[in-house]
Amino acid sequence: MSPDAFNSVFSLCIGFALAGALASGYQAVVQRPAGFGLLQEGVAPKTFAAVPFLVFAAPFIIMRNTLRGARIERRRFEFVMMATVLAGIWSLMSGTFFLMTLRAAGLLA
């Protein structure tokens, strides 16, 4: 495996892990699962604070909603695959941003 491919896989895994940790932490504190409904609470500081949270937690939320929909609503395979690819790309980008931030802060070599 080339170093670039390894770096991409590592960023993907870090992105999904970060998304899962954020969504699980939110659920532990608030006692309800995180969702995109956080953005529909009107113009308030809480809504603006939800945007950066959802940027990094979105891959987990997309996959959770997709897998629940596939089981409960019997969604088609194509829809599930498309949502999985979307969550993967989103996770790759957020993982890359997170790792670049750690490198810029000097916490990662």
Quote the number of domains for the chain. 1
- Report yes or no on 109 lying in a domain: no
17 is a domain residue: yes
Give residue-wise pLDDT tens across range 43-52: 878 788 889 9
Identify the domain containing residue 29 by its residue range. 3-104
> Is residue 95 a part of any domain in this protein?
yes
Q: Residue 35 falls within a domain, yes or no?
A: yes
The whole-model pTM stands at 0.86
Nearest C-alpha neighbor of 70 from the set 61, 58, 79, 59: 79
56-65 per-position pLDDT tens digit: 999 999 999 9
